[in-house]
Chain A
Amino acid sequence: MNENAQAVFNRPQLFGEAVTHYCPGCAHGIIHRMVAEVLEELGIEGRTVGIAPVGCAVLIYNYIQTDFIEALHGRAPAFATGLKRVSPDLIVFTYQGDGDLASIGTNEIIHAANRGEKFTTIFVNNAIYGMTGGQMAPTTMPGQITATSPHGRNVKECGYPIRIAELLSSLRTPAYIERVAVYNPQNIVRAKRAIRKAFQYQIEGRCFSLVEVLSTCPTNWGMTPQESLKWQETTMLPYYPLGCFKTPEGEVKE
């Protein structure tokens, strides 16, 4: 190797050697990596404890080499509350999917956010239950075909998808809420910036922070990886607008 060569791109050291268990085209890998990079860049990996969800991302601890606790379905915000309250010097984050956070765990996320618990939530919304085999989630798009909505989500019976970022933004306490997407490099850069900001606020002890990341599930959407990126952009984005909904400074930007 040339002595003058400079490494400009490496895998984060925090990433272990495990071979991914995620399906081709799934964005969990990208999102895991962004979290790992941010923890490393901020130098907080040694005092971070992650709370793994129930769902595909339960095995997040195989990839990100920090302490982890496996939460029960939907309860990661309660775990994080307990841990952060008794160990305020730790950096605590939950990593949750939409079945986990937006369905079975709505109570826990709303109240943790409303109490202003000082941890960070990475909320991965791919509009479907992944691990259980592609059933309808509260975030499933109108008309979207899933294993339990074989004729498409009927909004007359099931209502419209829940917009978690907007819902939590209606609360007065929670202070940093942003929605990002990962369907192209430009958005991935923005997403990482948001994740970094969320952890930065936690380091400063300022607020509860949540980043909703629109993601993909090619396997359960019945699409190729390329098609799923396109579908995220054309179908999910118009319903789930990207942007920052709340900051601790009180400014709301679009």
Chain B
Amino acid sequence: MSRILMKGNEAIAEAAIRAGAVYYFAYPITPQSEVGEYMSRRLPEVGGVFVQAESEVAVGNMLMGAVASGKRAFTSSSSPGISLMQEAISTMAAARLPVVLINIMRGGPGIGGILPSQADYFQSTKGGGHGDYRVLVLAPSTLQESVDLTMLAFHLADKYCNPTMVVADGMIGQMMEPVQFPEDYKEEPLPPKDWATTGCRGRAPRIIKSLFLDPAMLETNNVMLAEKYKLMKQNEVRFEAYKINPQNRILLVAYGTMARICQTVIDELAEENISIGLLRPITLFPFPGKEIFAEAVKPNIKAVLTVEMSMGQMVEDVEAAVQGRKPVEFYGRTGGIVPTPEEVRDYILKILAKKTPAVKSWKG
């Protein structure tokens, strides 16, 4: 397999095509516009469809119409654009429609800025839209992983009939790295799309809906969705352990670009005989909380440090996971500023210098 040097946004675009998603609907927004630009060139070559929509609101709804046919379709956007799609995401979750959304996160809140951020953790993992629902959330930290997880996202969306998001900070969208695409891509068998609206000739009509005027029926639908989310928690938790060992004094938890910076810090501190481990969530929902707990409670761990490009979002899930058994510390920068290895290293040394860290309750 040959390796190609690609920009993150373009690698993600090509990965989607390789996964058979040749229907793309989007609205331009920095820092992910290259996905649409790539698709507008590439999709006509593979018999696909590129539609530049009038708004992200329309995008979400075009996607619903497209995936209702049973075909793989997707969009990409950045934070404010994803906000505009939330009503559609909630509805696709309720109606069990498999759709993939790529969020190349930028700084917020509001219009915010166009530089990298991880401040959409709450938005993607805690709902974002209205009602009781969940989306599967995958968070790559390299371009190769962006390719792999984008392809996986389409499979998981179809497997669970559920919206699936790939969230990457703007750094991943904009940088270049060598990637390789699988030459003979095969997927595990998927359930038949016996719900797709393809015209009812020879069968009973199908209705794709999220309206339940009868409260008992609405509750039944929500309970069925909750059972599906439980299955996701059982089957789909993904994470990477980096240099986790019994000598670790601090457990780092970080994802995406921040995890790579933490790996640099861990390597540097190892040379000074300071052992730090990293648990990198790859799925943000379902969250590897049990795995974090198992590492955090080990006697060698003095504290858990969460590092994010936000004011502290994933740290709430880490606190919940650790259940007050160890202090949970947080370091983050925001507004498009990426914490440097030096900053993270200094913060780690500060924690290690603390004499008797008080055990905080998970409420902080």
Contacts and interface: CB of A to CB of B under 8 A. Distances in A.
A212 B198 CA distance: 27
Interface in B8-62: 23, 25, 49, 51, 53-55, 57-62
Interface stretch (A28-36, A78-86, A180-188, A214-222): A78-86
B68 A83 contact: yes
Contact of B197 (A65, A67, A107): A67
B45 to A, nearest CB: 17
Nearest to B55: A107
B73 interface: yes
A87 B63 CA distance: 13
A58 interface: yes
B49 to A, nearest CB: 5
B200 interface: yes
A81 B51 contact: yes
Given A82-B73, A108-B54, A111-B54, A68 B197 contact: yes
A199 to B, nearest CB: 14
Contacts of A45: 200
Given A82-B73, A85-B51, A87-B198, A61 B207 contact: yes
A200 interface: no
A75 B198 contact: no
A67 B71 contact: no
A46 B206 CA distance: 12
A85 B197 contact: no
B146 interface: no
A67 B88 contact: no
Contacts of A78: 53, 57-62, 64-65
B66 A67 contact: no
Given A66-B200, A83-B69, A72 B58 contact: no
Interface in A73-120: 75, 78-87, 90-91, 107-108, 110-111, 115
A68 B208 contact: yes
Interface stretch (A47-55, A148-156, A230-238, A245-253): A47-55
B9 to A, nearest CB: 22
Contacts of B191: none
B354 interface: no
Contact of A69 (B57, B197, B199, B200): B197
- Among A51, A65, A87, the most chain B Cβ lie within 10 Å of the Cβ of A87
Interface residues of A, number: 35
B26 to A, nearest CB: 12
B91 interface: yes
Interface of B is mostly: mixed
B207 A68 contact: yes
Interface residues of B, number: 39
B158 to A, nearest CB: 15
B364 interface: no
A69 B53 CA distance: 20
B201 A47 contact: yes
Given A46-B202, A75-B61, A86 B66 contact: yes
Given A78-B61, A86-B23, A87-B69, A58 B55 contact: no
B205 interface: yes
Contacts of B91: 72
B54 A46 contact: no
Contacts of B202: 46
By Cβ-Cβ distance, the 5 closest A-B pairs, closest first, are A46-B201, A82-B65, A78-B61, A82-B66, A82-B62
Interface of A: 45-49, 51-52, 58, 61, 65-72, 75, 78-87, 90-91, 107-108, 110-111, 115
13 contacts: A49-B198, A67-B200, A67-B206, A68-B197, A68-B208, A75-B61, A78-B64, A82-B51, A83-B65, A86-B71, A90-B69, A111-B54, A111-B58
Given A48-B199, A85-B66, A90-B198, 6 more contacts: A67-B200, A78-B61, A81-B53, A82-B63, A108-B61, A111-B53
